[in-house]
């Protein structure tokens, strides 16, 4: 029975990934978007992963990176269920969050509402540790945001939508 579930998650992520396409703007810059023929479920997933933000490049890039990293993380014979995917996200999210102060603060500047922690325990753990500086606090907030996106993504593909 697990094999069916594992194959299902992998195959659904692969199909979703195929619908996340790279396109070009008139100025020559590239961006990720959903293919025009994407199923409504994919539109809903992307909308959910934008977490009340209007469509933007950062979200689409992170969605694409989370999907490809999850697929790359597991070999074809590895068990790919909700628990394993959620566990893998700890490592995956760490690689998605940039180390550069410039990138982290640009992310915050693009949408100032992102500066608020969804779960205040993240802020409490960071704010009172003398080793944290503003960049590390901002990275922690970004880590939280990407973790939520990753967990929601895994949930969508393991809940049998």
Q: 100 by DSSP, 3-state: which?
A: coil
Is-contact 80 88, C-beta < 8 A? no
pLDDT of residue 119: 84
Closest CA to 86 of 22, 149, 139: 149
pLDDT of residue 38: 97
Q: Would you list the domain boundaries of the chain?
A: 2-158
pLDDT of residue 79: 82
Residues of the chain with pLDDT under 70: 1-7, 122-132, 160-161
Helix (H) / strand (E) containing 146? helix 134-158
pLDDT of residue 77: 81
Tally of CB atoms within 10 A around 128: 8
pLDDT of residue 80: 87
Q: What is the pLDDT of residues 118-132, one digit of tens each?
A: 887 766 655 555 556
């Amino acid at each position: 029975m697990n094999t069916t579930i594992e194959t299902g998650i992998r195959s659904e992520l692969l199909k979703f990934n195929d619908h996340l396409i790279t396109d070009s703007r008139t100025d020559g810059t590239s961006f990720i978007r959903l293919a025009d023929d994407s199923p409504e479920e994919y539109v809903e997933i992307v909308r959910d992963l934008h977490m009340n933000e209007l469509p933007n490049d950062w979200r689409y890039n992170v969605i694409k990176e989370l999907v490809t990293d999850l697929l790359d993380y597991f070999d074809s014979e590895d068990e790919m269920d909700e628990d394993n995917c959620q566990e893998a996200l700890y490592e995956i999210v760490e690689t998605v969050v940039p180390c550069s102060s410039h990138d982290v603060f640009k992310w915050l500047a693009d949408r100032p509402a992102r500066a608020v922690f969804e779960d205040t325990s993240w802020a409490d753990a960071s704010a009172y540790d003398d080793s944290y500086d503003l960049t590390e606090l901002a990275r922690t907030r970004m880590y939280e945001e990407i973790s939520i996106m990753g967990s929601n993504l895994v949930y969508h593909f393991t809940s049998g939508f």
